[in-house]
Amino acid sequence: MFARSARSASKAPDEVAQAVLFLASDRAANVHGSILSVDGGASAL
């Protein structure tokens, strides 16, 4: 999956961890029923 991303795969695990931390935080209290793509921009291509 990471090999196809638009950005370097070296940051991919850290980016996934940051997304998980965001979703587990109070800052994501109003995020409901959303898909958060953490794919380095591959889905935008």
**What residue spans define the domains of the chain?**
2-44
Residues 6+ apart with CB under 8 A from 15: 38, 40
The predicted model scores a pTM of 0.63
Residue-level pLDDT at 6: 56
| pLDDT (tens digit per residue) in 18-45 | 999 999 999 999 999 988 888 878 888 7
CA distances from 22 to 4, 6, 10, 37, 38 (A): 24, 22, 20, 13, 12
- What number is the average pLDDT over the span 5-28? 82
